[in-house]
Structures are given as structure tokens and as C-alpha cells.
Amino acid sequence: MAEPLPPTRPRIPGSGLAKGLAVTLRTMARKTVTEQYPDAQPELPPRTRGVIGLFEENCTVCMLCARECPDWCIYIDSHKETVPPAAPGGRERSRNVLDRFAIDFALCMYCGICIEVCPFDALFWSPEFEYAETDIHELTHERDKLREWMWTVPAPPALDPAAEEPKELAAARKTAEKLATTEAEQAEQTAQAEKSDPTKPTHPTDPTKPTHPTDPTKPTDPTKPTKRAEPQEGDS
């Protein structure tokens, strides 16, 4: 058997109107959240996904971004070039040269996978979003335009003071310290060797070099009298 419904309270006439007015008054008293775009630019969070910038100097044409893009909206063309060996007798190497790098933002779903997978830090998010076009073809940004977006990429946030030192910096610091230690040891060894060997001149000079160098190619002037030794007392 169905349970009886709870008794409903009798409606006071005009209560709905009073409720509506209360909501209106509450909203009027609240701070407005409307932004006056485009007269006032919105304050976007630093990690906003607006558009993708390409730093093509870092791109090695590994094609990882194009392969991982779920929308297949990254277009890359390249060719191979042979690089001569760095030293005589070495082997020639080949390297990829970028011919085309384009992203179709009409297809892009701003997932950020391409930026995540790029192993060489060649792609970055920019918060710029004002690139609407009336022609959909214009939404395919070629490498020049992608490079221009790099100017709008915000600087990376400062490292946490307690964060681990980046691997590259740690390696460079260790190499510099090692070099400085080796140089100091060598200088100390030289100083000790000079101290223990008194026959060795303190400031070794190049024996092949004359002490007062004269230009041997310069002929001496025969008409010029040579300086004679002053006669000493007792000389006859």
C-alpha cells in the first residue's frame, strides 16, 4: 500500500514575487564578474593553452609530435643533408633539415600532447588566443607564424628554492669545479718544483729568444760611430 504524501503548506500570495526580488537584490549586491573584453584584456592564468609556438632551432625533425597528435594536424616536411666530417679522416654525417612545420588550429583540440612528447623543447604554449579568422584555411599556421608566437610565450616560473638542481646545470658546475681543481694542483706542483730546484730560474725565459731582441734583418749603420769604452786611469 502506497504511503500517504506529506501535507503541503498553504501558499502565501505574493511569496514567489518576494523570493524573486530577494534573488535580484542579492545579485545586485555581489561583485560583478563580467569582463569588458575586448576593451579590457582578461587576466589569464600563466598556463593558459592559447596557441602553440615553435622554437625551430631546437627541432630535430624527429616527427614524434606529428605521430602522437591525435588529430593529425601537425604537418612536417624535411630533407636530409650530408655534413662533412668534423676532423680529417672522420665519417660524413647526415642530418634532417626542416622544410615545413605547420599546425592546423582548425583541427587542434589543444590537448598539449605534442608539447609533452617533444624531447627537444621545441614546442611551447602561448596564452595568445586572438587569432580568429574568417577563412578556415588561415587557421593553418606555418613555421614563420608559429615562430612569432614564441615572443608571446611567458617565461618559465622560477624554480622552487628546495628543488633539485637541473641535471644540465649540475653537470656543467661539476666540470667547472674539476677543471679549477686540476689547474690549482698543476700550479701548486709547478711552484713546488721551482722551490726545490734552485738552479732553475724563477721566471724561465725562452732560451731561443734573445734577452734584448734586435731586429737581425736591420743593418747597422756603418757611418755611426760605435761607443768606445772610456779610457781608464793608468791606461797608456
Residues touching ligand SF4: how many (CB under 6 A)? Answer: 25
Least distance (Å) between residue 69 CB and ligand SF4: 3
Neighbours of 75 (CB within 10 A): 13
CB-nearer residue toward ligand SF4: 139 or 194: 139
Map the footprint of ligand SF4 across residues 94-113, applying CB under 6 A: 103, 108-113
Least distance (Å) between residue 96 CB and ligand SF4: 9
CB-nearer residue toward ligand SF4: 112 or 127: 112
| Interaction between residue 71 and ligand SF4 (CB under 6 A) | yes
Tracing cell 610565450 back to the chain, one arrives at 153
| Interaction between residue 59 and ligand SF4 (CB under 6 A) | yes
Question: What single-letter DSSP state applies at residue 152?
Answer: G
Q: Is 73 annotated as a binding residue?
A: no
Q: Is 51 exposed, middle or buried (0-12, 13-18, 19+ CB in 10 A)?
A: buried
Q: Is 170 helix (H, G, I), strand (E, B) or coil?
A: helix
**Which residues 6+ apart lie within 8 Å of 223 measured at CB?**
none
Longest dimension (CA), the chain: 160
List, as residue ranges, the binding site for [4Fe-4S] cluster: 59, 62, 65, 69, 108, 111, 114, 118
Residues that bind ligand SF4 (CB under 6 A): 59-65, 69-71, 73-74, 76, 103, 108-114, 118, 120, 122-123
